[in-house]
């Protein structure tokens, strides 16, 4: 199977009302990517890895080094999905030039097909700058976790008329600037429907609406790795319980000297 391309993803928007929604999940490691890849159209190396793998309190301390290391692992572990790597906080906001330097490093070191960055109207110039220079950009509007300090939390956006209008303008601006797709996170459903119907690039929802052109979730969230997850997460499994139970049985076997058994030890051949 050949790897999907950014233009093929973008075209899905124009395949009409019957178009199959785009499937996207996060991946941070090669093995995780290998397992998810056949089922996805896109894999996102999200800066959510800050919380999920590194135990950080937010995404703000995630570095370009981290994104490059995990991005390269996910590209190595996949052969079908378009791999998109998040640009970390502080690596792109200052200027289009700063963004180009960071994005080109991500592209060169990981082999990913695209980068993602947070922000609407204010990032439009940067999105145009990158996409005109050969770097496909996925935008991210609505609830933008890198702005948690300005937003005051991770609550849903678009509740007031003003916020609704602002997020609609953000979505239009990033599509107009040349983003090949956009992530729409944590917004009122009505706004998600309106945005999906009014921009000409695929809208990938997370806490948005089934009406979006695709969906994304943090894989560990949907696997049930965490006790507390946002309202918009559906848990498709309970991997925390699986790991806990395996660790319990391993510990009991070790303490009882019932592991390893003869099947797991080396002995001279008879
Ligand atoms: O970092 C991330 O995982 C994301 C998705 C939740 C969209 O940005
Ligand atoms: Na992110």
Find residue 45's DSSP bridge partners.
85
Q: 3-class SS at 239? A: helix
If you measure from the C-alpha of residue 188 to the centroid of ligand 2, how many angstroms do you get, rounded to a whole number? 19
- Rounded to the nearest angstrom, the distance between the alpha carbon of 111 and the centre of ligand 2 is 19
Which ligand has the nearest atom to the CA of 45? 1
Which is catalytic among the residues 185, 189, 190, 248? 185
139 to each of 76, 116, 121, 174, 214, how far by Cα in Å?
Answer: 24, 6, 11, 7, 14
- For residue 270, give both structure tokens: 């008879």
The verdict on the CB of residue 50 being under 6 Å from ligand 1 is no
Nearest CA to ligand 1 atom 1: 46
Residue 85's nearest CA partner among 98, 101, 97, 102 is: 102
As annotated, the binding site for Mg(2+) includes 47, 86, 118
Q: How many CB atoms sit inside 10 A of residue 238's CB? A: 13
What is the rounded distance in angstroms from the CA atom of residue 102 to the CA atom of residue 157?
29
Output the pLDDT for position 14.
85
**Ligand 1 pocket check for 221: Cβ under 6 Å:** no
Beta strands in 65-120 (DSSP E): 82-86, 114-118
Task: Calculate how far, in angstroms, residue 78's C-alpha sits from the geometric centre of ligand 1.
Answer: 19
Asked if residue 72 has its Cβ within 6 Å of ligand 1, the reply is no
| Å from CA of 85 to ligand 1 middle | 10
Active site residue 220: no
Q: Is 41 in the pocket of ligand 1 (CB under 6 A)?
A: no
Q: Is 118 in the pocket of ligand 1 (CB under 6 A)?
A: no
Q: What is the pLDDT along the chain (270 residues), one digit of tens a residue?
A: 689 999 999 999 988 666 899 999 999 999 999 999 999 999 999 999 999 999 999 999 999 999 999 999 999 999 999 999 999 999 999 999 999 999 999 999 999 999 999 999 999 999 999 999 999 999 999 999 999 999 999 999 999 999 999 999 999 999 999 999 999 999 999 999 999 999 999 999 999 999 999 999 999 999 999 999 999 999 999 999 999 999 999 999 999 999 999 999 999 988
Would the ipTM clear 0.85, i.e. be above it? yes
What is the biggest distance separating any 2 CA atoms in the chain, rounded to whole angstroms?
80
Which residue has the CA at smallest separation from atom 8 of ligand 1? 46
Helix (H, G, I), strand (E, B) or coil at 13: helix
User: How many CB atoms within 10 Å of residue 47?
Assistant: 29
- Kindly list the domain boundaries of the chain, sorted by start residue: 6-238
Ligand 1 lined by 48 (C-beta under 6 Å): yes
Written out in words, the top-level CATH class of the domain with range 6-238 is alpha beta
If you search the block for the tokens 């009409």, which residue do you land on?
16
Which residue owns the Cα nearest ligand 1 atom 4? 46
Instruction: Check whether the bond before 260 is cis (ω within 30° of 0).
Output: yes
Instruction: Please tell me the predicted confidence (pLDDT) of residue 1.
Output: 67
């Amino acid at each position: 199977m050949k790897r999907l391309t950014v233009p093929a993803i973008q075209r899905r928007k124009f395949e009409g009302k019957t178009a199959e929604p785009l499937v996207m999940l996060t991946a941070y490691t090669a093995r995780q990517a290998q397992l998810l890849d056949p089922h996805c159209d896109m894999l996102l190396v999200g800066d959510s890895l800050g919380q999920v793998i590194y135990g950080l309190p937010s995404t703000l301390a995630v570095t370009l080094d981290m994104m490059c290391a995990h991005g390269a692992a996910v590209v190595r572990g996949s052969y079908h999905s378009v791999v998109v790597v998040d640009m970390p906080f502080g690596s792109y906001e200052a200027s289009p030039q700063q963004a180009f330097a960071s994005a080109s490093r991500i592209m060169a070191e990981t082999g990913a097909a695209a980068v993602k960055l947070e922000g609407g109207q204010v990032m439009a110039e940067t999105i145009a700058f990158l996409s005109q220079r050969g770097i496909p950009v996925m935008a991210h509007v609505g609830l933008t976790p890198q702005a948690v300090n300005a937003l005051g939390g991770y609550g849903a956006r678009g509740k007031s008329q003003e916020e609704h209008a602002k997020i609609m303008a953000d979505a239009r601006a990033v599509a107009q600037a040349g983003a090949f797709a956009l992530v729409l996170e944590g917004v009122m459903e009505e706004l998600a429907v309106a945005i999906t119907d009014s921009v000409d690039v695929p809208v990938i929802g997370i806490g948005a609406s089934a009406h979006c052109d695709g969906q994304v979730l943090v894989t560990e969230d949907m696997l049930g790795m965490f006790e507390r997850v946002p309202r918009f997460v559906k848990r498709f499994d309970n991997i925390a319980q699986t790991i806990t139970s395996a660790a319990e049985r391993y510990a009991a076997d070790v303490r009882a000297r019932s592991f390893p058994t003869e099947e797991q030890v080396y002995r001279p051949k008879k």
